[in-house]
Structures are given as C-alpha cells and as structure tokens.
Structure 1
Amino acid sequence: MSGRALSFGMRAQAYERFRPGYPMELFDTVMEYAGRPIRTALEVGAGTGKATRLFARRGIAVTATEPDGDMLAELRKHVPASVRTVRAAFEGLRPGESYGLVYAAAALHWTSPEGRWSRTAALLEPGGVFASFGGPVHLADPAVEEAVRAARAPFLASDGVPSPDGTPPEHDMQWPGTELQRSEWFTDVRQSMIRRRLMMSARDYIGQLSTISAYLILPASEQEQVFRQITRVLPETVEIAADITVHLARRRYEQ
C-alpha cells in the first residue's frame, strides 16, 4: 500500500468534517441492481465511515475494514453499534465468511492490483454484488477552477489520482469497470453516475483539500503555502461538482 494510501489517518477528523457523505440515491442504485434483499456487506477501506452509515442505517449488517487506526477510531464515533470493525488492509483479509455485498467508497484505487478480483470474489456469495463508487471533487465554475489550478501549480501539477489501469477519461467505461469486464469472476458490469452540486464556504473547501493525499504528502511548509495561495483566489462561497461514479458487478455463480 502506497504512502499516499496511508496518509489519511493524520487528518481523520478533518476527513470526517469536510468530505461529503453519500446520498440515499446511491443506496437505491445498489439495491436496485442487486434485485434482492442484501443482509450482509463488507466495506473495503471504510475511512471514517461515510459510506458505512449509508448501508448500516438501512438494516444491512456491515463489516467495515480499514488499515489506518486513526481513521477506524473516528469511524467508531459515528456508525451504529451494529457495525463490526476490523483493522486490516484489503490484502490482509482472509476468505472465511462471505457477504451479499462487497463495496469500496473512494478506496479501491489504493488496493493492490495483484489478485484484486479473485480476492473480492472469494469474499462474495455466488451472485453477490460488488460496488465501487466515488469521484473527484471539482469547482463548478471553470474560471475559479483555473485560478486554483494556477495557484497550485508551483507545488502540484495535479491533485488527482490517475486511472489505475491508464484508461483515458474520455472512454465510455472507466476503471474499475474496465478491469471487471476482463475478469473471469464477474459479470453484468454496469457504470452510472449520480450528479451532485454542493455549496460550501471557501474555508471548508480548503479543509476538504487538506484531506486529499496529494496535499497530505507535501512538506508541512509547502502545505501552508499552497493553501494560502489557493485561499487568495477563492470567493467566499464556492460551488463544487461532487459527482459519484458507480460501478457494479455480480459474482458469477459458476466460479
């Protein structure tokens, strides 16, 4: 697991405060795809439990896994008591219990590609559902976005995470759907998008940036400088585009 993947724990409370949660529409999208009741779920890289709450509060028995102890401690403050928590990286999970749903919320790209899909399939019941969802947060106003990009440029060329398999952004099917389509373990791969626009103060937007791995791995002095430069070009309130790309697939029965 990369240094960027393990950089979030130092900002666990900020992650909880500033990262957007997940809407009911996402839950409905997963359940509609499943086509049957889901009683148990395993979450990969649960962070502070933003997605854990969405599923656990609707009667699903969620096991939330997270390798960072600080993130897991923050999660435990906010999720129902019914949630089982396990401190473990995805690669450290051992097949045993199987689940009706395995999902990852803005976390799958931090997992190792080696054995990713066979490991996921081993955690799923035959016919069980895999879901991955998330997406970058952008400023909705192109002029403000460009001003922030210019302010950031001396410190970071980009604050995004590149596609793990190199799929160009203009392709119809994005990662991990591309890998799922090639996997012998999964079928019925679907991709959809939930459009979201959110308003937040400039201060909260900077707080949200402070939870992004590209900034977290900068030296502290550079973090202060880049946030100061970005703050100077922001209006008091900003609109952000926080669209959620959802990938769904079903474990094959015959495997």
Structure 2
Amino acid sequence: MSGRALSFGAVAEAYERFRPGYPVELFDSVMAYAGHPVRTALEIGAGTGKATRLFAQQGIMVTATEPDGSMLAELRKHVPANVRPVQAPFEDLRPGERYGLVYAAAALHWTNPEGRWPRIAALLEPGGVFASCGGPLRLADPAVAEAVRAARAPFLESDEIPSPDGTPPDREMQWPGSELQRSEWFTEVQQSVIERPVTMSARDYVGHLSTISAYLVLPASEREQVFGQIMKVLPDTVEMAADITVHLARRCHED
C-alpha cells in the first residue's frame, strides 16, 4: 500500500469534519440496480464511515473494513449497531462469508490492482453487486479554480489522483468501469453520475484540502505555506461541484 494510501490516519477527525457525506440517491441507485433486497454488505476502505452510515441506516448489516486504526476509531463514534468494524487492508481479507454487496466509496484506487477483481468476486454471492463511487470536489467557479491552481503550483502540480488504469478523462466509461468491463468475473457494468453541489466556507475548503493525500505527503512546512497561499485567493464562501460517479457491476453466476 502506498504512502498516500496510508496518510489519512493523522487527520481522521478532519476527514470526518470536512469530507461531505453521501446522499440517499446513492443507496437508491445501488438498490435499484440490485433489483432485490440486500441484507449484508462488505465495505472496502471505510474511512470514518461516511458511506457506512448511508447503507447501515437503511438496515443493511455492514462489515466495514479499514486498514488505519485512527480512521476506524473515528468510524466507531458515528455508526449504528449493525456495523461490524474490521481493521484490515482489503488485500488481507480471506474468502469465507459472502455478501450481497461489496462496495468502496472513494477508496478503491488505494487497493492493489493485482488480483483485485477475483478477490472481490470471491467475497460476493453469485449475482451479488459490486459498487464503487467517488469523484473529486472541484471548485465550481473557473476563476477561483485558476487562482487556487496558481497558488498551489509552486508546491504541487495537481492534487487529483490520475486514472489508475490510464483511461483518458474524455473516455465515456471511466475507471473502474473500464477494468470491470474487461473482467471475467463481472457483467452488466453501469456508470452513472449523482450531482452533489456543496457550499463551504473558505476555511472549511482548506480543511477539506488538509484531508487530501497529495497535501498530506508534503513536508509540514510546505503544507502550511500552500494552505496559506490558497486562503489568500479564496472568496469567503466557496461553491463546489462534488458530483459522485457511481460504477455498478454484477458478479457472474458460477458454472
């Protein structure tokens, strides 16, 4: 697992405070795709439980896996009793219990690509659903976005994560749908977008940046400098486009 993947524990409380939650439309889209009630789910990289709550509050028994102990401690403060937290990286999970749903919210890109899909398939009931969702929070105003990019440039060229399989940004089917379409383990791959407009104060926007791996791996002195430079160019209130891209696929039935 990369340094960026393991960089979040130190900011677990900030992650909980500044990362937006997930709307009920996400749950609805996953259930509509499933086409039947889902009783059990396994979450990959649950973090502080932003998506965990969404699924658990609808009555699903969620096994929430997360490699970082600090993130998991924060998760335990916020989730209902039908959540079973497990401290483990996805790669260490062993097939045994199978679930109706396996999902990852803004976490799948941190998993090891080698053996990813057969490993996920082994955790799913035949016909079970895999769901991945995520997407960067982008500044809605192009002029503000350009000012922030210029303020960040001396320290960081980009704060986004490139496509894990190199899919160009103008391609219709984005990752991980691109990989799922090539996988022998999954079928009926779908991609959709849920609009999620977010308004936050300038200070909360910088708080959100403080939870992004590209900044977390900077030396502390540079991190403070870049946040200071960004604060100088922000309006008091920041409009964000925080659309969620959802990928859904069905586990192939075994022969």
TM-score band, normalised by shorter chain: over 0.9
Deviations 1:104-129 (A, max 9, x none): 00000000000000000000000000
Query: Displacement, 1:81?
Result: 1.8
Check whether the contact 2:126–2:253 (CA below 8 A) recurs between aligned residues.
Answer: yes
* Aligned twin of 1:188: 188
Deviations 1:35-75 (A, max 9, x none): 00000000000000000000000000000000000000000
Query: Displacement, 1:254?
Result: 2.5
Q: Distance in 1 between matches of 2:243 and 2:133?
A: 10
* Aligned twin of 1:207: 207
* Aligned twin of 1:76: 76
Aligned amino acid, residue 26 of structure 2: L
Q: Distance in 1 between matches of 2:147 and 2:159?
A: 14
Q: Distance in 2 between matches of 1:75 and 1:139?
A: 28
Q: Distance in 2 between matches of 1:201 and 1:118?
A: 43
Q: Distance in 2 between matches of 1:81 and 1:34?
A: 24
3-state SS of paired residue (1:78): coil
Deviations 1:123-149 (A, max 9, x none): 000000000001000000000000000
* Aligned twin of 1:87: 87
Percent identity over paired residues: 80
Aligned amino acid, residue 144 of structure 1: V
Q: Distance in 2 between matches of 1:59 and 1:109?
A: 27
Deviations 1:171-211 (A, max 9, x none): 00000000000000000000000011111000000000000
Aligned amino acid, residue 88 of structure 1: A
* Aligned twin of 2:26: 26
* Aligned twin of 1:198: 198
Q: Distance in 1 between matches of 2:78 and 2:3?
A: 26
Q: Distance in 2 between matches of 1:254 and 1:28?
A: 27
* Aligned twin of 1:146: 146
* Aligned twin of 1:237: 237
* Aligned twin of 2:166: 166
Q: Distance in 1 between matches of 2:230 and 2:85?
A: 37
3-state SS of paired residue (2:77): helix
Deviations 1:206-236 (A, max 9, x none): 0000000000000000000000000000000
Aligned amino acid, residue 146 of structure 2: E
Q: Distance in 2 between matches of 1:23 and 1:14?
A: 20
Check whether the contact 2:42–2:65 (CA below 8 A) recurs between aligned residues.
Answer: yes
Q: TM-score, normalised by structure 2?
A: 0.99
Gapped regions of structure 1 (runs ≥ 5): none
* Aligned twin of 2:115: 115
Aligned length: 255
Q: Distance in 2 between matches of 1:196 and 1:117?
A: 29
Which stretches of structure 1, 4 residues or more, deviate above 2 A after TM superposition? Answer: none
3-state SS of paired residue (1:20): coil
* Aligned twin of 1:36: 36
Q: TM-score, normalised by structure 1?
A: 0.99
* Aligned twin of 2:179: 179
Gapped regions of structure 2 (runs ≥ 5): none
3-state SS of paired residue (2:245): strand
Check whether the contact 2:59–2:82 (CA below 8 A) recurs between aligned residues.
Answer: no
Check whether the contact 2:60–2:82 (CA below 8 A) recurs between aligned residues.
Answer: no
Q: Distance in 2 between matches of 1:240 and 1:163?
A: 21
Matched, 1:97 2:124: no
